[in-house]
Amino acid sequence: MPRRPIITLPALTLRLQVQGPQTAAELAAAAGVHRSQVSRTLADTADAVVQIGAARRARYALRRRVRNIGDRWPVFRIDEAGRAHEWARLEAFHGGFRMEWAGAAPAWCALLEVADVDGWVEGFPFFLGDLRPQGFLGRAIARRVTETLRLPADPTNWGDDDTLVFLQSEGDDLPGDLVVGDVPLRRTLARQVAPPDSVAESDRAVRYPELAAQSMQAGVPGSSAGGEHPKFLTHVRVAEDTRAVLVKFSQPLDTPAGRRWADLLVAEAHALDVLVNAGEAQAGAQVLDAGGRRFLEVRRFDRAGAHGRRGVVSLAAVHGAFVGSGGANTWVQAAEPFAVAGLLAPEALTSVRRRQAFGELIGNSDMHFGNLAFWLRDELPLHLAPVYDMLPMLWAPAAGGEIVPRTFAPLPPTPAQAADWSVAAGWAEVFWQRVAADDRVSPEFAAIARESGATVARLRGRFSP
């Protein structure tokens, strides 16, 4: 008489480790046993194996410990007054993650297919992806923590577990309003009692060159922000007010590359000013020359006052969650499916079209998906955050610092693009006029501005509806 097949707990957990979540029927079929035997065996696993979902949706998943930081973490949001609210709990399993929402699941969950009805997430949650170190400051942070945290030196090579380890160590002052874990939250709240050093507005001419030198030496004064241009983050005190700012800076002004970056920072200030008047950017950009460098100070729109925060998420993160890799080359191509699906407000899509056209008409050759962001709120539709990193990158120095002649040849609009393009072309004409007339701009770049403005005027005269 053949022996009755049996299933052991090690065999079940091994299958869950390799295959990810499985139903009782799938586990039973793989082992050749009745599903009741699977259920009895899994009842002895305490908390290691978790049932996700109920009735026909029920699956079993095996918890996965992430190095020495555990397998579950609360996710908090910091509101504009600086108060912390528990938003969700993130749990790591073999095969994915689960989000347990403190309240109702955000409205975008179903449309973005971020998590199923039981909170299961196949990959790393998209709203945490932007918290990986990025750009100039991100690389400096990675260099600082890579040895102690045993992480790859290049953050673009980090996996999900690397990011979680980083969030537990450095996650108290990152972009947006999310904080993952109790310890980072306590450090976040401690900043409200003993805030980090800030700069008096009257002391910027002294302190900004010092902070620039620290930043160049990779002693990063502030948290991670995307973008490759040298920058630092700080707080500026104005009377009784404190504002969080991002400060870009040029190389020394007595070098060709430094002179050109100084021109571009003035141009960025004018682009922001034009877009403030159009309702697309946040006011408050300031240009300052000090210590042989030029500085552009802009207010952080993901911060409110001294302690408050606002949630933001990049187009790169949302597009990756909604569409996946590929499928779009421009902001407009990436955003249009969101509008069709009800994710994006119609007026936001109009803004995306105009921002892209404006960028093309001022020579912004760096409009990647990380340079457009939305407010991250629980409700729909998504609304655009203010413009940032909008400048004529076409004329940036080459990697070695050489100033290379560039050809400015923006393309005319298609008939469907003409109305929004025409609005943006009007903004671009004003932009080039202001840059050409600014005495802080070098004669060489003023000539570029005059020629570029004339190019935009000819296009606008020929192709505006």
Same domain for 76 and 186, yes or no, is yes
Asked, for residue 54, whether it belongs to a domain, the answer is yes
Q: Which of 132, 140, 291, 362 is nearest to 230 (CA)?
A: 140
CA distances from 389 to 126, 145, 322, 354, 414 (A): 22, 27, 24, 15, 26
CB 125 within 8 A of CB 163: no
pLDDT of residue 226: 46
Asked, for residue 426, whether it belongs to a domain, the answer is no
CB 131 within 8 A of CB 90: no
Asked, for residue 445, whether it belongs to a domain, the answer is no
Name the stretches of the chain with pLDDT < 50: 1, 219-227
pLDDT of residue 280: 98
DSSP sequence for 391-421: S-GGGSPPTTS--------PPPPPTTTHHHH
Whole-prediction pTM value?
A: 0.91
CB 136 within 8 A of CB 129: no
CATH number at residue 292: 3.30.200
The Cα–Cα gap between 463 and 465 comes to: 6
The total domain count for the chain is 3
Per residue in 13-55, pLDDT (tens digit) is: 888 899 999 988 888 888 777 777 777 777 767 788 888 888 7
Asked, for residue 318, whether it belongs to a domain, the answer is no
Asked, for residue 320, whether it belongs to a domain, the answer is no
Same domain for 139 and 187, yes or no, is yes
pLDDT of residue 113: 67
Domain extent, residue 53, equals 9-62
Per residue in 244-288, pLDDT (tens digit) is: 999 999 999 999 999 999 999 999 999 999 999 999 999 999 999
pLDDT of residue 326: 64
Dig out the tokens for 61 from the structure: 């998943």
Same domain for 239 and 206, yes or no, is yes
What residues are labeled active site? 366
Same domain for 214 and 285, yes or no, is yes
CATH number at residue 51: 1.10.10
Same domain for 80 and 133, yes or no, is yes
Same domain for 246 and 184, yes or no, is no
Asked, for residue 180, whether it belongs to a domain, the answer is yes
Same domain for 187 and 103, yes or no, is yes
135-149 helix and 160-170 helix, angle to the nearest 10 degrees? 90
Same domain for 152 and 257, yes or no, is no
